[in-house]
Chain A
Amino acid sequence: MAEAAFCDFHARTAPSLWAYLVHASGDRALADDLVQESFLRLLQSGFNPESEEHRRRYLFRIASNLLTDHRRRSWRTAAAPVDELVMPVAAAAEGLAQDRDVGRLLRELPEKERRLLWLAHVEEMEHKEIAGILGLRSGSVRVLLFRARQKLGALLRRSGLGPEGGV
């Protein structure tokens, strides 16, 4: 991969990958490390896809595998404190409060469900792509995603952030 092309790809992809890993793992330092390692593995793989989107999906797959490997190695699976997900200081007060709530509510879900929701809603990936990234079957993704949405929807409603909460 040419240097300029890699730098462009990094600038476009790294912030999204970092956000995914921060919310999936709940650990900013770990997300920092995994983003770097993911890009390094991508470079080492010599993977030459037909499109940038394909490369992006491959990168997310690497990152997901690295996070899974890290979890397997680490006996400490407890989530990081909510403060790990502090949002930008520049954000408006209302938005800041909402974002913190999202962080808090997401943290109440298991890591697998957080990953599913993130890939489906933020990265707007199809079930098949999510299945490839998370090592699941497409049919399982559909069911698990449905359950995850139900849980998060219930949490949002209970916290007054859902449809009835006037959001």
Chain B
Amino acid sequence: MSYSTKFKDHLAHPRNAGELPEANVVADEQNPVCGDRLRLALVVNDDRIATTRYLAYGCPPTLVCGSALTELITGKTVEEARRITKSDVIDAVGGLPSRKHHAAALAIEALNTALDSLTKS
């Protein structure tokens, strides 16, 4: 399978990778079938996502979608972040074959879980 230049760049140079001890919210999502994992940690100040960090385990699309997601949401308001879709993540990594779309879905699930727990708190 051939990956895009954007995809390879994210894989070789993951954005915003690591832990975030000062995070307001942390979401852990796992694909129950394949075992891929994504941890998303956010610092949200005045309803705006100020800092984002992620950790990922799994196939390359999972690693890359996590990286792309952090770029898409950093600096956005919570409401703006809620409007980000699976397709936005797929576009941000330069496209994915349909059998790998589950990786972008996992990223959006982690984002929604984080934003939901932020709203609840």
A interacts with B: no
